[in-house]
Amino acid sequence: MKDLTPDRKTLDPIEIASRDEIEALQLKRLKWSLAHAYANVPHYKAAFDSAGVHPDDLKSLADLSKFPFTVKQDLRDNYPFGMFAVPRDQVKRVHASSGTTGQPTVVGYTENDLRHWGDVVARSLRAAGMQPGDLLHNAYGYGLFTGGLGIHLGADALGLTTVPISGGMTPRQVRLIEDFKPKGITVTPSYALSVLDEFNAQGLDPRASSLEVGIFGAEPWTNAMRREIEEAFDMHAVDIYGLSEVMGPGVSMECVETKDGLHIWEDHFFPEIIDPNTGETVKEGEVGELVFTSLTKEAFPIIRYRTRDLTRLLPGTARSMRRMEKVTGRSDDMIILRGVNVFPTQIEECLMATPGLAPHFQIELTKPNRMDQMRVLCEATGGHTAADARAAAGKALASQIKQVVGISVAVDVAEIGGVARSEGKAVRIVDKR
């Protein structure tokens, strides 16, 4: 793999500013953001008033903990535009969640918001090793999802050539990678695996492709998966994180030179980690639920938003801004199986450690005889598809899961193609209880 470390002279000065400078900017912006939300969004006025706090009470960054949290339900209750802090005609763009699990949540951006979003995504793409003039294959979905259009904004801001292919039509993805020779690909890690399969199905060597870096996010993925993808494509694999409520992709980004967790672009997003049960801020470096407050957003300021994502904060390395560890999962995705907490990422790690199995999987939960049961559906790799080889691999995975995670599960190893493929975010859990 080529060294893609960006020249420090090309970074935004704030990325490598002193902590004092970053914190002074944060405090100034935080005061503005709280006052802006309070003055213009009835929800925040009511929430602050009933908690007995006023934006003027914020004298230091630590004072933020006095302010109330915002949760997804607050956004649903104010559907569609009730959380906007500017008149609707100043909102240049809206995005929304799919709403498959309830009322969709809508977010909005002013012209300045779109510019800031482009700036943080440009910063993220540069941290991945992309430089002006490089070609980017953007396979995140375009549309209401923030992935495709968010990356596109940043690619424009950085001066890349973008192929806005979006997700799906996998044979065409491979064709265009072969013909256009992109340096970078932006895609969910699960869909990258589908693209990888398609390379192999077409008899093409993915290691010989032009790709030098993959920028993966929108769903949890493990370091074991990183090794698998880096090896398969002979390219760097780095992590990009974000969520619509806070902005979209580009809230935090892993640097290609260190790959040691994701630097949060702290001049725009203020992070906290809380104990999800008590709401108290945890000790520095402890794992908990990630909470974000926007510092510059005009259309849709967000105060202490509970992301449900579990991680911990770490000091800066390649940049002065703090890092968040790779997200292990969402508290919503945590399965409690007969008293043991399990995340799909733990199953992914066990799967990657078991020979003869492909990296595709799904977890099925059932409850026969009032006992929760988990079945892991996965599939064999080429050369391991005979029935006895599959049975042996399944047994090995079950025992790996028993040893590492501490739970007994059933494992079904299908033939190649037996697990549903994702074109965006993978569906890891099918709950039939």
- Alpha-carbon distance of 48 to 42, in angstroms, equals 10
Question: Which part of the chain contacts ligand DLL (CB under 6 A), choosing from 46-54, 139-147, 364-372, 393-401?
Answer: 139-147
248 binds ligand DLL (CB under 6 A): yes
Question: Which part of the chain contacts ligand DLL (CB under 6 A), choosing from 73-81, 125-133, 140-148, 398-406?
Answer: 140-148
109 binds ligand DLL (CB under 6 A): no
CB nearer to ligand DLL: give 220 or 316: 220
128 binds ligand DLL (CB under 6 A): no
CB nearer to ligand DLL: give 243 or 401: 243
Residue of 321, 311, 302, 322 whose CA lies nearest to 67: 302
Question: Residue 225 has which token pair?
Answer: 């998966």
CB of 302 to ligand DLL, least distance (A): 12
CB of 410 to ligand DLL, least distance (A): 27
Q: Is 166 left (phi over 0), alpha (psi -120 to 50) or beta?
A: left
CB nearer to ligand DLL: give 242 or 288: 242
- Alpha-carbon distance of 393 to 355, in angstroms, equals 7
Residue of 181, 174, 167 whose CA lies nearest to 196: 174
b or e along 226-254 (b: 16 or more beta carbons within 10 Å of the residue's beta carbon)? bebbbebbebbbbbbbbbbbbbbbbbbbb
CB nearer to ligand DLL: give 146 or 173: 146
Residue 14 buriedness (CB in 10 A; 0-12 / 13-18 / 19+) = middle
Residue of 8, 49, 55 whose CA lies nearest to 28: 55
CB of 130 to ligand DLL, least distance (A): 15
Q: Is 279 left (phi over 0), alpha (psi -120 to 50) or beta?
A: left
- Alpha-carbon distance of 329 to 343, in angstroms, equals 6
Binding residues among 174-233 for ligand DLL as defined by CB under 6 A: 217-220
CB of 332 to ligand DLL, least distance (A): 8
154 binds ligand DLL (CB under 6 A): no
Which residue has the CB atom at the shortest distance from ligand DLL?
Answer: 217
Q: What 3-state class would DSSP assign to 30? A: helix
Q: Site for ligand DLL (CB under 6 A): which residue of 6, 147, 344, 356? A: 147
Strand pairing class (410-414; 373-380): parallel
Q: How far is CA 107 from CA 81, 242, 267, in A?
A: 8, 14, 20
349 binds ligand DLL (CB under 6 A): no
CB nearer to ligand DLL: give 30 or 247: 247
330 binds ligand DLL (CB under 6 A): yes
Question: Which part of the chain contacts ligand DLL (CB under 6 A), choosing from 53-61, 142-150, 268-276, 403-411?
Answer: 142-150
Query: Any idea which residue has 């104010």 for tokens?
Result: 78
- List the x/- string, 262-301, binding to ligand DLL by CB under 6 A: ----------------------------------------
76 binds ligand DLL (CB under 6 A): no
User: CB–CB of 245/328 below 8 Å?
Assistant: no
CB of 10 to ligand DLL, least distance (A): 22
Q: Site for ligand DLL (CB under 6 A): which residue of 91, 302, 324, 327? A: 327
Query: Any idea which residue has 């995340």 for tokens?
Result: 343
Q: Please name every residue paired with 241 in a beta bridge, in sequence order, or none if there are none.
A: 252
CB of 371 to ligand DLL, least distance (A): 29
Count the site residues for ligand DLL by CB under 6 A: 20
Q: Site for ligand DLL (CB under 6 A): which residue of 84, 117, 140, 191? A: 140
Beta strands, E only, 198-235: 213-217
Residue of 103, 107, 87 whose CA lies nearest to 95: 107
- Chain residues binding ligand DLL by CB under 6 A are 140, 145-147, 217-220, 239-244, 248-249, 307, 309, 327, 330
